Structure 1
Amino acid sequence: MPKSHRVVGPARKSLDEEPLTWPPNPEELRRKAMERLHQSTPHNFEALSPDEISRLLHELHVHQIELEIQNEELRDAQNALEASRARYFDLYDLAPVGYCTLNDRNMVLEANLTTTQLLGIPRSELIQRPFPRFILLEDHPQFYVHRQRLFESGSRQVFEVRMFRGDQSTFWARLEGTRRQDGSSQVFRLVISDITEQRDIEDKLRESEHRYRIIVETANEGIWVWNADERITFANETLQKMLGYPSEELLGKYIGDLILADEWQDHLASRQLRRRGRSESYERRFLHRDGHPVWTRVSATPMFDAEGIFIGSFAMVSDITSLKQAENELLQAMQRTEAANQVKNEFVANMSHEIQTPLNGIIGMMQILMTTDLDEQQRKYVTNAVVSANRLGRLLVDILDLSRIETGKVELQQKRFNPVELGRSVCEIFASTARTKGITLGCRLDPTLPAWIVGDEARLVQILFNLLGNAVKFTAKGHVELEAHLLPSTDKGDLRILFSISDTGIGIPDEKLERLLEAFTQAEESYTRFYQGAGLGLTIVRRLVALMQGNISIESVPGKGTTFHVALPFTAAAISSEEQEVAVAVNGKADSGRDFLNTSRTLTVLVAEDEPLNQLSLRKILEPAGHQIVVAENGQQVLSLLSTQDVDAVLMDLQMPVMDGLEAIREIRRLERERYLRLRDPQATLRHIPIIAVTAHTLNVDRKTVLDAGADDFLVKPIEPLCLLALLHDLDDPQAGSHAKDNTPHAESLDKT
């Protein structure tokens, strides 16, 4: 067999020995392949055996397949490379920022599409053009300084310049430069970002911050900020002046060093509230640099970081030192005014008593004179004198009432009374006057009114008396009517009654309605006065209605009449069935009066009065009614007389020399309790002498003081004879419902002994 030969190909040349272009030329590639095949084919090819030729063909076939596989892999790699290059160029061209490359002479070598869009020119006009041509001349130094730094240090440079667009408009650009070696030369790569919008925002932010700082620094209020450790981190100029500290001393100062010792606990409480996220306003004194306190009003707000951690407080501070001084001066002035009002009230009360005491004597003497034989003219003179004296007495009472109401010293008394009986009684008082004037006086009371209500009966009488009296006075013909209706209950459950007093009198013009309820104001203001009065009645009514939480309104037509509406709240009183029967009987009667002149027995009455005329007046009232009189001129004489003789009742004037009436009443009740306790007999009863206080004072505070002292009832000078006799009748009658019907001691009084 012929000797086999191994086909060995020559070693491939390197790319440096035989460089190839890409992509390779097919003809050149075929030529090189034929050369290598020729080199690898033995010269004695004809001497090969068929097996060797077969093996050689097989090997060539395998190499052919290998080459085909390599070609496929090469094509895949080439396609992937082309795709990668395409993606790269897409990313490069369509990047959100501009990319460009400059040579050492600042000429543009490369630029992506974004750069051309930023500059507003096509790529062909940008390549090989100087880059500084697109930068504003004023910003060239900025560009060259950073370029020099880049080539000297090689470190990345970031700076901002203004650049031109193709349309000559400008924009702010941030340039980020890096250096790279490209063969034997260096290139300058730039990243270009349009920051125009960002610069606008920054400019607006700086402008806003500038305005804010101006506002803060020039604000009339002090503004400061302190951190979580309560160290001051900011204080405007106003606050610095307010506390007397320069900025360098105030910043970093512990805020607790400015707090007064007696306000430290308040400061701690406020700090805890802010740490819990609550804003608050408060008044606080801070120490001035020179040591004096500065009154301030503080509005503090907590500050938290993004994670909700407390980092400090922001506060606005107003200097209210002058306001506090003004408040203090006002308070002192109010105290002085109150003291002056107190002196005025005491003067008015004393003058009222001093005037009413002789006035009571005058009226008493006139009433006594009317019981004597007088001719018609003399009786007319005496009657006119009594009317004038009574008018003067009512004026004094009105002045005293108004003075006390203005100072807020009137307290409402809550007692049970029958509104129907009260309304009829008020109407009966004016019935005679109405008949004399020839006018009709009507009284329409709602049958659904409760039998008993709780409220201030005396004040209600005063309101109705003034309104009904005015209606009768200002009505020359026609009628006057008092109506009372039950109103729906309020949310609080209070019972409300509407009282309406209407007349057909002179009426009131619209322009005078607003001022009518003011003190010393009348609808008739001319010098020719047809109606008497000081103009105090309606003022007192308005203030009493307000004090009782009610409302008052007026309807009037000049020449046709006036209607006053008064709505007042009361409380319904629980009553027994027996009381209900009595109330029904009373409400159904036209006249519920009593014959007070026919006494059940003769009473011995101790009259404590230091004024001789009043003594005589009371004697002339009581003795004709069958009563006996014992006179004492002061409280000490009253106690002496009571220790030696028995009396059935005491008329006690409150203002007397030596010992006044209040002190005498208290001493009488104390002696009664002592005698009762000394007996120690459970079957014994306390000897309780009925005492009627007599005074010129007409307000609740005086009534309460007198009743608390132990008086059974209360009369105001000048004394009406029938009122006095009726009161004595009730005190002596065990069925009359007075204090005198029960001779056992008051539980409250015994508890105090």
Structure 2
Amino acid sequence: MATTKHGADHSDELGLRARAEARAAERAVADPAHLDAEAVALLHELRVHQIELEMQNEELRRTQLALDAARARYFELYDLAPVGYVTVGDAATIVDANLRASVMLGVARGALVGQPLTRFVLPEDQDTYYRHRREVAVDGQQRVGELRMVKADGAPFWARLESVASQEAALGRLIRTTISDITELRRLHAEVAQSDRMASVGLLAAGVAHELNNPLTYTLPAVIELAEFLPELAAAVESGRVALANTGGGRGRDDVTSAAAEVIDPDRLADLVVGARDAAVGLRKIHKIVRGFSYFSRIETPGVVPIDLNEAATHAIQMTAHELRPRATLVTDFGRVPRVLATEGKLAQVFLNLLANAAQAIPPGDPTNNHVRVRTWTDDLGCVCAEVRDSGCGIAPEDLERIFEPFFTGEPRRGTGLGLAIARRIVTQLGGEIRVESRAGQGSRFELRFPTQGAEPARQVEVVAVPPPIRGRVLIVDDEDMVRAALVRILRDSHDVVEVGSGRAAMELLGAGGEFDVVLCDVMMPDVSGVALHRWLADSNPQLVSNLMFLSGGVVVPETRAYLTRHGCVCLDKPVSVAELRSLVAARVAAAPR
């Protein structure tokens, strides 16, 4: 049988009376002797009643303390929660919000009540919010969504909403929503995705560079030599034709002259000379592009090394030239600056992002009247400085402080909004700083400053003095047949050249007593790599290991690069300059022990 409220109250009263009687008995106060039995009973009743009142007051105090503790816990759990809580009524307006939601939205808590939550949702994401709320209202199930919200001061942020429906008699149907600021999480995810994309691009670039550098190794020197030789051949042919024409007449001479004119036409020879020169120019341009690929393939290389700032900017310019060309005239002003401690690919990525930002600020169609300027210099404090300046749309004053925030894209720019944020992060990691100056409609100027402490001065072009010619013995180790053939052609006039197609074949030849002054070896080979051959030579022939020079097609993994640096190995990028290769080999041959 259910206990009635009256019965429960009566039971509580009996319990209170019994406890009061027990406490009164404990106090055992003696009654005055002159009182009769009725007065004693009344006095006892008054004492018990007083004790009941004391016990009720104690209970009230405990209840008040418990209530205060509950309110404190409620404040901590609700108002100081790490997420915002809002309750939206049937009218789609806020009927309650916690303190955290007030702080997140930048509005006083009391002022939030009665406002539509959509006021704090970016216009582009309003449809997303309406779908989210409708789905919750239809089936009452919990729904989770992500959208962009905006604070009262206009600052946007990414939010994760988790909503459920509830019903209250006084307020009707409600939707209770938690709001979590996930801007930083989205930034991290986007940067990881960007890093993965850059790593994939780097891997692809490295592969493309390697596959192009090997054929460039044997085509570029041949075309350059052809372009240099054809004018001499044309001149020799013309001299021969003139000499033949000046000799005595005769039918035989006329027949020879006529046949030679058909085969060796001067105009045709002139066209071949121009074509060969153009081909050499084109291959050199391809070589520069491939070097840019190789540069960006090293974005994820760990550690920092002294880097030429001008070279990093140049590679970034090459990679963005197609974007800049229809929009602006590019002006460069590279000063003589010390090197900075950085990672090759990351430093170039800073310039790449700044140049891409400049391109987005200038509409295509009028490159003559627009410009992008890249300048480097050393300031009075010895810092290495660079600027990327454009004549584009500029940045509104209210956006200047937010231009480096992740996901911020000011009109008319487009993109992920990560380019400048990543540029600032890289510059900061390298110990530098980045500044921006801009006015709406008057272009923008981004300035980079890097410390030079611990960095080496910029390399100057080193001219290797060619010693008196000594014919040496050179071993070429490369798994590409045509690369070996090209290197043999370059060196055979000055040296005795032996070629093998693998690192294992080189070991067998050298192990059998083969003597060489210089070894030219490819870094990456399928059976025994160049590094493995270097280690083997360090044990078996320490004198020769110092004259082992590497050739790389562009794919050098970080571990291999670290090994080459640690042991001071010379590593030439393919396609190697003919003059540089001949000079280096001649110097090593001259220094070889005899």
> Normalising TM by the smaller chain, what interval?
0.3 to 0.5
Q: Greater relative contact order (Cα 8 A, min sep 6): structure 1 or 2?
A: 2
Alignment TM-score, normalising by the size of structure 2:
0.47
Write 1 or 2 for the structure with the bigger share of helix: 2
